[in-house]
Amino acid sequence: MSDRGPAPKPWIEAIHAYVPGAAKSVDGRELVKLSANENPLGCSLGALAALSAPRDPARYPDPDARDLREGIGALHGIDPARIVCGTGSGELLQCAVQAYAGQGDEVLFSRYSFSLYPLLAHKVGAVPVAAPDRNLGASADSLLGAVTDRTRVVLLDNPNNPVGSWLPRSEVERLHAGLRSDILLIVDQAYAEYLSDGVDDGGFELAARSANVLVTRTFSKAYGLAAERVGWATGAPAVIDMLNRLRGPFNVSSGGQAAALAALADQDFVSRSRQENRRERDRFAEAVEALGNHGLRAVPSEANFLLTVFEGELSAEAARDGLAGGGYAVRHLPGQGLGQALRITIGTREQMDDIAAILRRSAEALSGN
Ligand SMILES: Cc1ncc(COP(=O)(O)O)c(C=O)c1O
């Protein structure tokens, strides 16, 4: 009798597990975690209160997250019937790819995109295809140029992770207009709350009027509820129907639903998160640019992190190690072809000042001044 065990499907065996942002140094020390784009302000007090309210853990949560969908619909002017909630937006991205792509199909995204995207394609036996970037960011022309007969899903994270770039409404519309109607365009707006007031890429309007657009959002970033795992998506009824068939039956916990609903009611917290993020991101970008003579460069970002490029004597690895020595975990993404850069989540003012000082000391130590 063989003891080899069951053979996984070859396309599943080829997947590596998603690599989350580190929270510890290589020698096991706890670090300040600026590697997962979490909110340094925490979450709304209302959401905290909702989380600590008594509820019966013996009962399943509302399987349809009805109150939460109504709250989201009221805030964004969307019919709740066209909303589905997920265990983070990650679950919904996975369901959407699973519904529309399979063996031999292609799932297309821009070269530097959320590192989960290729895994989602591999999970269903589809081929991940990366379109060339334009100045690290996505380009509608480049994505359209990479579409083939086998393309089934296009994923656009807007703002983008890990670059922080953003495509305006006119470009997203042009991208959509250039796609065949049998291709699903997913506009992943995980960082949309960080855009300036009144700025948006038109994803909701496209999702409201098109049969082939899905927009995803999350409570993990500006709402500060990453631990609760709540996300949502909106699109045409037929697309939402597919996601409802594929998602877990009780996929959002009772606490998560209550916390997200309370968080929606506290838009002041979201505004404050947006404003403080912008202020600290701008200040940090300036501090990085001031090290331009040492080869450091800040890539303009619309999100809650800054991609910092190291083109001088101080390498990204050495900078990452220096920051870990100073108590900070940031994201180095050589696996994504960004070995010369670090993605640094925007933390508090003190943390960003400290990080800028560590980078300056590390760069100066190498150049001897
Ligand atoms: C672009 C993008 N989309 C989606 C997600 C998934 O977030 P969650 O599953 O917590 O909603 C992330 C998380 O980092 C992200 O960066």
Tens digit of each residue's pLDDT (9 = 90 or more) over 280-318: 999 999 999 999 999 999 999 999 999 999 999 999 999
**Segment (H or E) for 73:** helix 66-76
- Cα(188) to centroid of ligand 1, in Å? 8
The residue contributing the CA closest to ligand 1 atom 12 is 190
Q: How far is the CA of 61 from the centre of ligand 1 (A)?
A: 23
Domain boundary assignment for the chain = 10-37+268-363, 45-265
Atom index in ligand 1 nearest the CA of residue 157 equals 1
Tokens linked to 144? 């359209």
Ligand 1 and 188: CB distance under 6 A: yes
The answer, yes or no, to whether any atom of ligand 1 lies below 6 A from the CB of 90, is yes
Cα separation of 54 and 66, whole Å? 20
User: Does domain 45-265 match CATH 3.40.640.10?
Assistant: yes
What confidence score (pLDDT) does residue 18 get? 82
Please indicate whether residue 38, judged by its CB atom, sits closer than 6 Å to ligand 1: no
Per the structure block, which two tokens stand in for 104? 């031999």
For residue 359, how far is its CA from the centre of ligand 1 (angstroms)? 28
Q: Tell me: the pLDDT tens digits for 106-128?
A: 999 999 999 999 999 999 999 99
| Ligand 1 centroid from CA 137, angstroms | 17
- For 210-267, the pLDDT digits (tens) are 999 999 999 999 999 999 999 999 999 999 999 999 999 999 999 999 999 999 999 9
The pLDDT assigned to 2 comes to 66
Q: What is the mean pLDDT of residues 336-351?
A: 97
Instruction: For residue 190, report the distance from its CA to the centre of ligand 1, in Å.
Output: 6
- The residue-averaged pLDDT of 186-204 equals 96
CATH topology of domain 10-37+268-363: Aspartate Aminotransferase, domain 1 (3.90.1150)
Q: In the structure encoding, which two tokens stand for residue 202, read together?
A: 């038109």
159 in contact with ligand 1, CB cutoff 6 A = no
Residue 191: phi and psi, rounded to 5, are: -110, 15
Cis geometry, peptide bond prior to residue 159 (ω within 30 degrees of 0): yes
